[in-house]
Structure formats: structure tokens, C-alpha cells
Amino acid sequence: MPLHNSPSGYGSVLRMLHWLTALLILAAIGLGLYLEDQPTTTDAEVARVAALFSLHKTIGVTVFFVALARILWAMRQVRPRALHPERRLETFAAEAVHVALYGAMLAMPLSGWIAHAATTGFAPILWPFGQSLPFVPKSEAVAGIFSTLHGIASKILIVSLILHVAGALKHALIDRDATLVRMISGSGPLPPDAPHRHGPALLALAVWALVITGGLVIGANRPAEPAVTPEAAAAEPGAGNWAVESGTLTFTVRQMGAEVQGSFTGWSADITYDEASRSGAVRVTMPLSGMSLGAVTQQAAGAEFFDVAAHPDATFTADIADKAGQLVASGTLSLRGKDVPVELPFDLALEGDRATMTGKVNLDRRGFGMGPSYPDETTVGFAVIVDVNLNALRK
């Protein structure tokens, strides 16, 4: 069984890649269409849909690499001759559909992958290589643009597949020639040689250029969601002797084995600190309406987790002291109707009237009654890592 193509048929490598790509694409499309109408009103439904979306994304990334391997292999192979070169219009259409299909096999999974990398939360790709991509920022705008391209490319892929299958069936059932046989067994008759034309490829590439340009324009003009950035910390006047100028308050959780970062905005801190005694006090108020957790913000705000409707604010009240050379804010975090003791170790750099503070603390969501429907860490981890960074000015 030859590995390489010949003028009369396809080699075993290309045939294997062809059928593997077909199976993966059908699985990805089937899952995508199925998930469009699935309910997400309960946490169990959200967990189920997230697991299936993870599978859909994982298959999609696999499609990209398999299709890329197929295209690169085909570029180095002899092209089997057209069985009916005299049918110029039919041959032209078949080649144009093939190029459009190749483009869709790359554009659809790649645009979906970029959209995934540009956001956080909800349905990680099931592999150990991380969820981000080089040069792709975490941006709802970028995610929106490439989600639009993903949707358009999926339609082109489906149409191209339908035309491709319809052509194969025509050759098998009406023409009764060896077109389909060559992709199954690799052998077939040797038709007369005919010059290869570049028109079909140019037409398909022109269509793809229009599609990508249109997708970028449509995606860029979609209504934007209200921006939520962790840098939007607010400093309210208080009794303390330090005022926060800027800062970030972020937290990291694990969803289906992948890290997802969230943030709070609109928080305020009332800080009293005496550098001579290395002691003081702090009170941080966090309106939970400023909580963001990527694509799962709405679920995180629900009754299962932060329960923002019933508990709109969280507070951290603590005393600051030096414990064996380490500054620690020891106090109580009031969240979701629960008061949990928390010790936040932090580093402090003072330069005149300016201070820079960085701290980190590990919490357990179960201590606040979060996620009772998730008794293990299969879907949502127990640990919540909170990072605090702020710059303050002496009053």
C-alpha cells in the first residue's frame, strides 16, 4: 500500500488524514449544534454544558492540527489527475469547493481557539499546554471578533462539506466512476493529463478574504459589554492615614483543571499604618457587582457561589502587625453571610509618602458555603487564591 499519491490515486497517508479529519469535523459540528439549545438554568446544567464545550473545543484544536498536517502533506504530493477534465465547469467547481473547505478546516478551529484564549473561564481545552496563546490578549473585544469569525467560518465549512459530499455521491451513484474509490482504496484508472488551472484556488481565496474582512468588521462593531478591569479600584475617603491611589484585587480558581482568574472593581480601602511600630488597621469594602470571572461571571454571581443578589457586599476588617518579621493583616472576611478568620501576609515598600503593598492568601470556597452542588474538585476546585496589589499615598 503506497504512502504517497500517484497520478491515478491517493496514498495511504493522505487517505488516513482525510477520513480522520472528516470524523473529527463531524464530531465537532455535531457537538456545536447540539450545545446551541442546551439549557443552563441550573448549576448541574452549566457543569454539563461546560464539560461538553470542553470536549468540543478540544476536538476543534485537534481538527486544526490534523487539517494542517493534511494540507502540508498534500502540498508535497502529486495531485491525482481529474477523471473528467473535459467537464471544465464541474472540475472548476470541485477544486473551488476543495480550497474553500481547506480554508474552513483551518479558519474555524483557529478563530475559535483565539476567541477561547482571549477570555477566561468556562470550558477549558482538555490538554496540559495552557489555555492562552502568544500575542492574544485577554480581551472581550478580541474574543467577540473571533467568535464572530468562528460562526461565519462554521457556516462556510458546513456548506462546503455538503457540496463536497454531494459531489462524491454524484460520482458514485450517477457517474459511477472511481472518484470515491480513489479515496477509499487509493487506486483508480489513469486519466489523460490536463493542465492545472489556478482559477478555482484564486476564487476560493478571494471569498475567504471577503469573509475574514467582513467578520472582522462585524465583530469589531458588535455592542461591547461594560468593561470590567481590576485596575479600577476606588479609594473612598476614610479615617485612615493612607489613601489608595491604584491597585488590583484578583482571585484565581480552578475550573475543570484549568486556572481561571477573576477580579473585583470599585473596592475601597481605609488604611491606618504606623511605620515605626509596624502596626495598624485596614478595612476593605468590596461591592460584588464589580466581580468578574471571565465567561462564567453570571454563574459566579448566582446563588450557588457569590449570591450577589442576597449579599451585595463583602468586607475584610483586620489589624496589621509584625509577626516574626512578616507583616500580616489578621482579621475577618465577611462574604456571602459568612464571617471567616483570614490572615493575609504581605510585603510593604515605603518611599517617603508612597507605599506599595503586595499580598496573597489562599482561601477555601467551602468555608463561605460556596458551591454546595460541587462536593469535589472535578468541576470547581476548593482553593481560591486572592492576590492584592496596591499603591497608596500618605494623607
Q: So what's the pLDDT on residue 193? A: 77
**pLDDT greater than 80 at residue 322:** yes
- Report the share of the chain in percent with pLDDT over 90: 55
Residue with the larger pLDDT of the pair 47 and 3: 3
Task: Please give the angle made by the CA atoms of 106, 213 and 61, to the nearest 5 degrees.
Answer: 20
Q: Are residues 79 and 139 in the same domain?
A: yes
Q: Are residues 352 and 282 in the same domain?
A: yes
C-alpha cell at 233: 479600584
Q: So what's the pLDDT on residue 91? A: 86
| Range 76-87 average pLDDT | 87
Which of 117-121, 164-168, 322-326, 382-386 has the weakest average pLDDT?
A: 117-121
What radius of gyration do the chain's Cα atoms show? 29
Q: So what's the pLDDT on residue 12? A: 94
Q: So what's the pLDDT on residue 337? A: 94
Q: So what's the pLDDT on residue 291? A: 93
* Residue 3 forms part of a structural domain: no
| Range 228-241 average pLDDT | 54
Q: So what's the pLDDT on residue 228? A: 40
C-alpha cell at 312: 451585595
Which of 40-49, 110-119, 129-138 has the weakest average pLDDT?
A: 40-49
CATH classification at residue 314: 2.40.128.110
* Residue 280 forms part of a structural domain: yes
* Residue 173 forms part of a structural domain: yes
pLDDT (tens digit, 9 = 90+) per residue, 5-42?
998 889 999 999 999 999 999 999 999 999 988 887 77
pLDDT (tens digit, 9 = 90+) per residue, 182-220?
999 888 888 777 666 666 667 767 767 777 777 667 766
Q: So what's the pLDDT on residue 259? A: 83
| Range 52-79 average pLDDT | 93
Q: Are residues 216 and 266 in the same domain?
A: no
- Report the share of the chain in percent with pLDDT over 70: 90
Q: Are residues 191 and 320 in the same domain?
A: no
Residue closest to 361 by CA, chosen among 318, 303, 392: 318
| Range 161-172 average pLDDT | 93
C-alpha cell at 117: 484564549
Q: Are residues 47 and 181 in the same domain?
A: yes
Q: Are residues 49 and 168 in the same domain?
A: yes
Final residue of a domain: which of 220, 251, 276?
220
Q: So what's the pLDDT on residue 225? A: 47
* Residue 270 forms part of a structural domain: yes
* Residue 1 forms part of a structural domain: no
Residue 229: pLDDT band by 50, 70, 90 thresholds? very low
Residue 379: pLDDT band by 50, 70, 90 thresholds? confident
Average of per-residue pLDDT values in the chain: 87
Q: Are residues 138 and 188 in the same domain?
A: yes
* Residue 131 forms part of a structural domain: yes
* Residue 231 forms part of a structural domain: no
Split into its structural domains, the chain has a count of 2
Q: Are residues 139 and 49 in the same domain?
A: yes
**pLDDT greater than 90 at residue 309:** yes
Q: Are residues 62 and 201 in the same domain?
A: yes
Query: Domain of 117?
Result: 12-220
| Range 252-256 average pLDDT | 87
Q: So what's the pLDDT on residue 227? A: 42
Q: Are residues 182 and 303 in the same domain?
A: no
- Under a CB-based contact definition with an 8 Å cutoff, are residues 143 and 129 in contact? no
Q: Are residues 277 and 371 in the same domain?
A: yes
Q: Are residues 133 and 265 in the same domain?
A: no
* Residue 308 forms part of a structural domain: yes
